[in-house]
Structures are given as structure tokens and as C-alpha cells.
Structure 1
Amino acid sequence: MPDKQSHRIKVLGRELTVKSTSSAERVGEVEALVNRKLAEARAQVPVGDPQVPIILALMNLAETCISLSRELEEQRHAGGDKLRRLTRRIEDVLL
């Protein structure tokens, strides 16, 4: 596994150093996504408890993650089924 590198990011106006095996470009993409989701959540709840937009952003990101994980699992299952059907067809032709 590659060594972790330090990266400087800025989220919620705070500069942080994070360590990651990802490239600087990937860390920048993650930073941009987090900041975009936080801005979207802040626009939904412009005043009040400052933690609410953070919670909303986390919930939105988690929902997306779960949906994509389920979609990937469905595609893996469908791919496995297709592979089994093709294997049977090949075996039928060869036998």
C-alpha cells in the first residue's frame, strides 16, 4: 500500500492537514465535494444551529454512498448471472 501523504485542505473556513494515500488531485476533489455539500445544506437551513447544515450534508453524502453501494451490488449480481448463463451456453455448445 502506498505511503500516506499530508495534504492541506480548507473546510468550513478552517485549514486542516489530512493524511491520505490518495493523490493531491483526489484529495482536492473530495475537499470540493464536501464544501459543495456543506454549502447546499447551509442554503437549506440558513440560520439557527450551525451543526444542522453539517448533519444534513453528512446525511446527503451517506444516502448517496448507500445508493451507489446498492447499485454496484445489483450490477455485480446481474453480471454474475449473465456470466453463468454464458458459461452454460458455451458448455452446451462444447458438449
Structure 2
Amino acid sequence: MSVKASHRISVLGKEITVKSSASSEHVREVEALVNRKLAEAQASVPVVGDPQVPIILALMNLAESCLSLSRELEEKGQADKEVMSRLVKRIDSALP
């Protein structure tokens, strides 16, 4: 089991402490990505209105990216399996 360290981050102007087994650098990258996506979402909606809308939009954008990358990785893994299967067949057919 990896040791989780405490990290202070700031999101939406709120300072919070999170625990993670990731490096401090990785936690800072995640914090920066979240803040960047929130700022993009806030810029795309009217200033007045429900303050949760930009948060929901940022979450939707991050989730869409996550799902797209997961699909790409799955497709790549399937393609790699097919290549490996063809290589094994070629090796098997070349052996006496």
C-alpha cells in the first residue's frame, strides 16, 4: 500500500487539503487542470445565474475527455492484441 501525503490546493478560491499517493508535482498539475477547466467554463456562461453551472460544465468537459481517452486506450489495446495474435500465428507457422 502506498503512503498518502497531504497536499494543500486551491480551487475556486478555497484552500483545501487533499491526501494522495501521487507526487506533489502531479497534484499541482491536477489542481492547475481543474482550475483551468473551471475558468474556461466560467468564461463560457453568463455571469448572472446559477453559480453551479460552470462547475457542472467543467465536470462534463473533464468527463468527456476521460471517456474519449479511455475508449482510445481500449481500442489501442485491442489493436495491439490483434497484432500480437497475428505475430504468434506467424511464429507458430514458421516453427517445425
TM range (shorter): over 0.9
Alignment TM-score, normalising by the size of structure 2 = 0.97
Offset of 1:46 from its aligned partner?
Answer: 3.4
Name the TM-score, length of structure 1 as normaliser: 0.97
- 2: CA distance, partners of 1:90 / 1:46: 62
Q: CA deviation at 1:91?
A: 0.7
- 1:65 partner SS: helix
Deviation string 1:51-75 (CA, Å, 9 cap, x unpaired) is: 0000000000000000000000000
Between the aligned residues of both structures, percent identity stands at 68
* One-letter amino acid of the counterpart of residue 50, structure 1: P
**CA displacement, residues 7-37 of structure 1 (integer Å, 9 cap, x when unaligned):** 0000000000000000000000000000000
Structure 2 match to 1:63: 64
Return structure 1 stretches of 4+ with deviation > 3 angstroms: none
> Structure 1: where are the runs of 5+ without partners?
none
Gaps of 5+ in 2: none
Separation (CA, whole Å) in 1 of partners of 2:55 and 2:46: 12
Match runs of 1:22-33 below 5 Å: 22-33=22-33
Report the Cα distance in structure 2 between the residues aligned to 1:45 and 1:32, rounded to whole angstroms. 20
